[in-house]
A and B are shown apart, each in its own frame.
Chain A
Amino acid sequence: MRKGLKLTDILVTIVIAVAFGIVYILWGSIYYSVKPLGLHVDQLIYGMWFIAGPVAFLVMRKPGVALLAEIAAASGEFFLGSPWGLTVLLYGVVQGLFAELVFMAFRYKKFNMSVAVLAAIASCVGSVLMDFAYGEIGALSLWNLLLFMIARFIGSIFFAGVFAYYLVKVLEATGVTNLVRPVSSKDYAALDQK
């Protein structure tokens, strides 16, 4: 078998990601409508921006897909004219990379909710690291920083972990995932049946 992603895998991943890119753009306005509430309530919904990686991986179940999806979603958001501009590209690469590392740590063999949640947490860590460089959040007062982190972690576990998992679960019911997943030994066994 040839190594690496095939054209079909790449195209499907990128299309899923671009669809999420549109969601990311729309999410920006929701983010700003929540922002005035203050006290980092907005961080609770920040997790939505990590969802493309886990969803794409859970759908495709192949190596490299999570990273590609998060980059593609970020560039889709970028091309559609995100007000954050180049920020989203840099963040996207880091978030995708961190999610990918989690899936890699499980040798791309686990597709359950806990691995999705772990990937979400990893993406969140990546984004927080970026925030230390970009937003200088290390200089916030301690109580404020803690509030910020807790809100963001809860949000990412909910959106990019739990929500992503159930979204793919429902997608599986439509049968569409069978198109793109790698064949398993079960599929071969089905062929042998007389």
Chain B
Amino acid sequence: MNVSSAETWLHKINPSLKLFVLIVLCMVALFIKDLNYMINVTMGVLLLFLCFSGHPLNRILLLSIPFCFIFLSTSSAMILFGQGETLWFKWGLISITEESFMRGLLVGFRALLFAVLGLTFSLTTRPVNLFYSLMQQVKLKPKYAYSFMAALRLIPIMLEEFQTIRNAMRVRGVERKKGIRSLYFKMKAYSIPLLSGSIRRAHRIAVAMEAKRFSDTRNRTYYYEFGFSKNDHGFILYFVILLLAGLYLSVQFPYLSI
């Protein structure tokens, strides 16, 4: 799968700072209880995702499909079964009230916001860069950072092994059982060799790293160096303006009166 993309200003932001800002924004979003405000903030983040991720538009649209599911699934339970006073519709257990409808939309937009922020981050940040930056700016211990990087490198090998096990079972003519028992059999047949193989491999890697004098001191040299730039200021400014302007607009020009 080709996932290359153009470099935009979002790629040039310091990865630790980017993660930090996004997490703070998520925390803030947990306390936004006003629907209009939430819609404004989500729009601002969607704009970043659609215009500045550097990926071609068709891929962006493809990646947006799950967002619809997330929005619908998160909001539907609240809309259909939430509490409220002003009844709009009632059918058996389902009762839609004005309050539950609005709260459902709020929850849906919040889920959308979290999802878009996460995807924007992972589309514009290489994990290796993030861990190098975390070591340099956040002083994450190298043993954690390098373990993460090694583990991420092992993902393709794990997928390959999964394929190997599947092929091996096919070649040996493993019979297909049906129902719950087949599920149990499959889980066991795949997870045990995959897990034990991974543990053995991880152990070997760690032994090799220590044999080569991997040191956990923080004053080491880095192949990739990260600092801060104008892009970082712009990034922070964008969200400050978004939060303030969003609040102003939601008070002055609300979409829905609540």
Contact = CB atoms under 8 A, between A and B. Distances in A.
Nearest to B214: A7
Contacts of A86: 22-23, 26, 114, 117-118, 121
Contacts of B192: 167, 170-171, 174
A171 B47 CA distance: 47
A87 B122 CA distance: 13
Interface string B154-187: 1100110000000000000000000000000000
A2 B129 CA distance: 30
A59 B127 CA distance: 27
Given A22-B158, A72-B148, A84-B114, A144 B26 contact: no
Interface string A2-30: 00001110111111111100100000000
A137 to B, nearest CB: 8
Contacts of A174: 192, 196
A182 interface: no
Nearest to A12: B202
Interface in B202-236: 202-203, 205-207, 209-210, 214, 216
A12 B199 CA distance: 6
B82 A139 contact: yes
A32 B106 contact: no
Contact of A140 (B78, B106, B148, B194): B78
Contacts of A13: 147
Interface string A152-181: 000000000000000100110010110110
Interface string A82-106: 1111111110000000000000000
| Range of interface residues on B (Cβ < 8 Å) | 35 or more
Interface stretch (B64-72, B238-246, B248-256): B64-72
Question: Main SS of chain B's interface residues?
Answer: helix
A166 B239 CA distance: 47
Nearest to B95: A141
A158 to B, nearest CB: 12
Contacts of A32: 69, 73
B41 interface: no
B135 interface: no
13 contacts: A15-B154, A16-B199, A35-B73, A72-B151, A78-B122, A83-B69, A86-B114, A86-B117, A87-B118, A136-B103, A139-B99, A167-B195, A177-B199
Given A78-B118, A78-B122, A84 B148 contact: no
A14 B147 CA distance: 7
A15 B151 contact: yes
B122 A79 contact: yes
Contacts of B124: none
Contact of A16 (B117, B121, B198, B214): B198
Interface in B36-72: 63, 66-67, 69-70
